Amino acid sequence: MIRTLLECEEVRAVISIGCCYNLLSEEGFANARIQYGFPMSCGVKSVNLSLGKSSRDLACQSAERWKSLGKDAGLHNFELHAFRAAFQMVLHKYFPEVGISPSIGRQGKALRRKQQRKIIKSELQAEESTYSDLPQMACNMEEACSVTHSGESEAGNTSGVRSDVDALFTKMSLHTGSTCETTMSTYKYSLFEKFCQSGLCRLGLKPSDDINFLGIWKEVEPYVSLIGIYWSLRAAFGPLLETLILLDRLLFLQEQGDVLESVMLPIFDPAISPRNVAIIAKKPDAGISSHHSSR
DSSP output for 44-88:
HHTTT----HHHHHHHT--HHHHHHS-HHHHHHHHHHHHHHHHHH
Which band of pLDDT confidence, cut at 50, 70 and 90, is reported for residue 288?
A: low
Q: 3 or 141: which carries more pLDDT confidence?
A: 3
Which band of pLDDT confidence, cut at 50, 70 and 90, is reported for residue 162?
A: very low
Would you say residue 89 has pLDDT above 80? yes
Rounded CA-CA distance 23/31 in Å is 11
Rounded CA-CA distance 246/234 in Å is 20
Would you say residue 142 has pLDDT above 60? no
Query: Looking at residues 275-293, what average pLDDT do you find?
Result: 73
Which band of pLDDT confidence, cut at 50, 70 and 90, is reported for residue 154?
A: very low
Q: Which residues have C-beta within 8 Å of that of residue 235, sequence separation ≥ 6? A: 58, 61, 63, 66
Running DSSP on this structure, what letter comes out for residue 26? Answer: B
Which band of pLDDT confidence, cut at 50, 70 and 90, is reported for residue 155?
A: very low
State residue 215's pLDDT score. 95
Of 50-54, 156-160, 201-205, 286-290, least confident by mean pLDDT is 156-160
Query: Looking at residues 154-169, what average pLDDT do you find?
Result: 45
Are 68 and 271 a contacting pair, CB within 8 Å? Answer: yes
State residue 144's pLDDT score. 45
State residue 100's pLDDT score. 76
Mapped onto helix, strand or coil, the DSSP state of residue 239 is helix
State residue 216's pLDDT score. 95
Would you say residue 106 has pLDDT above 70? no
Q: If we measure between CA atoms, which residue out of 76, 38, 44, 66 comes closest to residue 237? A: 66
Rounded CA-CA distance 276/41 in Å is 22
pLDDT digits (tens, 9 = 90+) for 110-122: 566 666 666 666 6
pLDDT digits (tens, 9 = 90+) for 169-215: 444 444 445 566 678 788 889 999 999 999 999 899 988 889 999 99
Would you say residue 98 has pLDDT above 60? yes
State residue 294's pLDDT score. 39
> Does the global pTM surpass 0.95?
no
For residue 172, count CB atoms less than 10 angstroms from its CB and return exposed for 0-12, middle for 13-18, buried for 19 or more.
exposed
Would you say residue 83 has pLDDT above 90? yes
Query: Across the beta sheet with 13-17, what order do the strands follow?
Result: 13-17, 277-282, 261-266
Q: If we measure between CA atoms, which residue out of 47, 67, 58, 53 comes closest to residue 241? A: 58
State residue 107's pLDDT score. 61
State residue 282's pLDDT score. 92
CA distances from 250 to 1, 46, 246, 253, 268 (A): 13, 16, 6, 5, 19
Long-range contacts of 98-104 (CB under 8 A, 24+ apart): 98/203, 98/205, 102/203, 104/198, 104/199, 104/202, 104/203
For residue 233, count CB atoms less than 10 angstroms from its CB and return exposed for 0-12, middle for 13-18, buried for 19 or more.
exposed
Query: Looking at residues 48-58, what average pLDDT do you find?
Result: 89
